[in-house]
Structure 1
Amino acid sequence: MRLDFLNRLQKELSVTGTALHEAVVSIAERVNRKVQILRLHWQASSVLERIDAVSHELGHQIVDQIAHRSSEHHPIDPDLSEVNGTINRATTRIQTLKQSLVELDVQIRQLKLETIHEDLLRLQQDLSQRSAGIERVLIPQRSAAVGQRIGDVPRSSSIHIATVMRGPFLLAPAEDLTFRTGDIVVLMGGQTELDHLSLWFSRRRHATSSATQSA
């Protein structure tokens, strides 16, 4: 009996240690992700400052070039070739900086989506322990849900619409929010009710119309 007790204790300690290790790793990954987001925000801010600096520098160069030609009593070139060259060089620099800004924005959004996905997984695990679940339902083209409002969703009181993911944005589930193709609806509630409601979102519009006509 003592041996069984020791084996059981060792197993429980192993499980506890594994859970603790997973928790520490999860926290470390989350902190690291937040640090990366802050770093990318700082880089984006730096790029914006450089774009402003290039714009200011361009203005000063144009004024100096025109003033220099005027002070030397030279007629200003009708096609302003020197000024055009300055503008073209500045435009190229600004376009390069803007491309860097776009790439930073993509990285920031990706990290934020990873954080959201991690939160949803953790919430799903918590709900599963309570005989409930969480579903992410993608609204396909020609779905009966397209054009419908959240207030029109036939759901029981046990079903909660947590949010609507539209591209990189999380939308508050207001009753007058209208669904669009490609929206991801995050649902929480009992698993049976979730399964029925998922079918409502996936039904095609023509099938709904046929059912209405036959009625």
Structure 2
Amino acid sequence: MTTDFLARLRHEVSLSVVGIREMVLATADRVNRSVQTLKLHWRASTIADQTDTLHHQLGTALADLLARDTETPPDAVDAATRAATAQRLLADAAARTRLLKRDLAHVESLIRELELEALRDDLLKIQHDLSARGLSLRRITVAPQSAADGRPVQDLPLEPPIRLVALLRGPTLVPSPESVVLRPGDVVLLLGPSAAVHHTVAHFIEQDRVPA
């Protein structure tokens, strides 16, 4: 009996150590991702400041050229020189602005990638929490000629445990969707017991594809 107890104790301690290690690694990964995101936001802010400074310097230089014209009427040669100077300033500013915009676009793409990684982690945690409780979150697109097509959300025959937690129409999250009439292409998020959600899918898909 003592041997069995010690074996179980070692097993539980081993599982605890593994769990703690995974938790520490996950926490370190989140912290590292947050630090990277903050650095990238700082970089994006710096690029925006550099762009503003560049435009301010260009405006000051052009204003100085115009001020010279008003103080001393230029001859033809002087006017051509100043026009060439203005063109050079504009071309240089345009080239530098394009480079800054390219850098900013790259930084913003890196920020989006980090945010997507964080979102995937959050969704996996949500899915794990729901599965542990026998629940499911299902994303469904309303199909043409389905039972839900043309019906208000409040008239859908959803079983009491099931909730329609969100309705997406195109790029828009529809607020208070209860009275909204569903149409093909709408995306609904259903939350409820896994078995009940599975059977509810039939209301949103084509009739010849209803799951058994």
The TM-score normalised by the length of structure 1 is: 0.74
Higher Rg of the two aligned structures: 2
| Larger mean Cα displacement after TM superposition, 139-148 or 97-106 | 139-148
What is the distance in 2 between the residues matched to 1:109 and 1:165? Answer: 21
Letter matched to residue 120 of structure 1 = L
2:51 is aligned to: 51
Q: Does 1:101 align with 2:104?
A: yes
Segment drifting more, 190-199 vs 85-94: 190-199
- Kindly provide the CA deviation profile for residues 134-172 of structure 1, in whole angstroms up to 9, marking residues without a partner as x: 33x2638869679987657653332234456899x8947
Write the mapping of 1:104-183 to structure 2, written as runs, cut at 5 A: 104-135=107-138, 137=139, 139=141, 154-163=157-166, 171=173, 174-175=176-177, 176=180, 181=185
Q: Are 1:33 and 2:36 an aligned pair?
A: no
Q: Which runs of 4+ in 1 moved over 6 A?
A: 140-143, 145-149, 164-167, 177-180
- Alpha carbons 2:62, 2:86 under 8 Å: kept: yes
The verdict on how the C-alpha distance between 1:99 and 1:65 changes in structure 2, with shifts beyond 3 A counting, is same
Percent of counterpart pairs with the same letter?
A: 31
Say which is worse superposed, 68-77 or 16-25, in terms of deviation. Answer: 68-77
Per-residue CA distance 1:65-86 (angstroms, 9 max, x = gap): 3334565642323993321221
CA–CA distance in structure 1, aligned partners of residues 51 and 32 of structure 2: 29
Match of 2:74, SS state, is coil
Specify whether residues 49 and 166 from structure 1 end up closer, same or farther in structure 2 by C-alpha distance, changes over 3 A only. farther
Aligned residues: 202
C-alpha change, 1:86 and 1:153, in structure 2 (3 Å) is: farther
State the AA in 1 paired with 2:36. Q
Consecutive unaligned residues in structure 2, runs of 5 or more:
none
Residues 151 and 49 of structure 1: is their aligned pair in 2 closer, same or farther, counting only changes over 3 Å? farther
Deviation at 1:56, TM superposition (A): 0.3
Give unmatched runs, 5+ long, in structure 1.
209-215
